[in-house]
Structure formats: structure tokens, C-alpha cells
Homo-oligomer: A and B are copies of this chain.
Amino acid sequence: MNLTESLRASIREVPDFPINGISFKDISPIFLRPELIAATSSALSAPWRGRGITKIMGIDSRGFLFGPQMAVDLECGFVMVRKKGKLPPETISVSYQLEYGEAAIESVADAVVAGDRVLVHDDLLATGGTALAAARLAQKLGAEVVGFSFLVSLSFLNGHEKLHTVSPHIHAIIDFES
């Protein structure tokens, strides 16, 4: 099996989680195989080599699983993006709409600076709301968003369209069309 096939075989679909009608993609079986962790991390970094990335912004919490090793691979920094209230001051935050209500994410205020070239990373692209908010956070700090990196994309939710407003460069190793 190639990497894509191995990953597909290692992602468990859980019907009706966290709510009815949603098929949750459980990536945890990937982490039971260290050779698959290493291969996935390399495959996530590969398309971004030579692109001058200076910071990876990884979204809490599954964006923390591969983000730091990607930063080692790309010889750049790794910045945590978390829900409001989790990071110590000074922080900078961006609010965004959820289906019902609003959420906010933040990063430490001086973790990203003007001139940084940022890659936003998370495990999964769904509607793209959180990744877009992370990109806005980078832009608010004066950085340029080079692109978006995901392990899994759920293309049927049209997150790509939302993110294209920031950057045309969106990479995911595997895609689910339903």
C-alpha cells in the first residue's frame, strides 16, 4: 500500500459523532504505527519545501500532533493557536461565526511578526471556519499566509472556497467526498 492507501485504511469513520448526521473521521489509529506517523509528517511537509515558510500555525489540539515535526522538517517555527483563555497574556484573538453562535481563537501576541510567511495547519479541513480565523490572526499580526495544510479534507463541505479568499495554496493528503 502507498501512503494514501495506508492512511485511508487507518482512518475510522464513526457515524453520528459528535452530532447526528456527521460521520466523524477518527485519525487516532494512524498513531498506533510509528512508521506511519513519520511518513505522514514528511508527506505533510513535502509540498511546502523551498516556499520560505517561517512559521507554522497549528490549531489546537490535533494540529499539534504533526505541526512541531513539520516545523523541524521545514526549519521554521511552530505557533500554537488555541481557544480563547488557554494561552497566557499577551495574546491576540480573532472571532469567527459558528453555525450557532461565535467562537474566538488566539495565539501569543509576539509569536508571529510582520514579514513572517505562515502556513496554517490542522488535521482536518471541514467548513474552514477555524483555519480561516487562524489565517486572519496571522494577517492581523502583519504576516503573509502562504497556504493551508491538512491531513484530511472533506471537500463536500466546500472549505476550499472559503480559504481561497486568503491563498490558492491548499494541500491535503487525502480527501473524502462524502
**Which of A's residues lie within 8 Å of B, judged by CB?**
12, 14, 17-18, 24, 26, 28, 31-34, 37-38, 41, 55, 60-62, 64-69, 71-72, 74-80, 82, 85, 87-89, 108, 111
Contact = CB atoms under 8 A, between A and B. Distances in A.
Q: Is the interface of A mostly helix, strand, loop or mixed?
A: mixed
A87 B28 CA distance: 9
B71 A31 contact: yes
Contacts of A28: 79-80, 87, 108, 111
B33 A77 contact: yes
The 4 A-B pairs at the shortest CB distance, nearest first, are namely A61-B61, A14-B88, A32-B77, A64-B64
Q: Of A26, A31, A71, which is in contact with the most chain B CB atoms at under 10 Å from its CB?
A: A31
Nearest to A25: B88
A129 B67 CA distance: 27
A154 to B, nearest CB: 15
Given A34-B76, A77-B31, A80-B31, A14 B68 contact: no
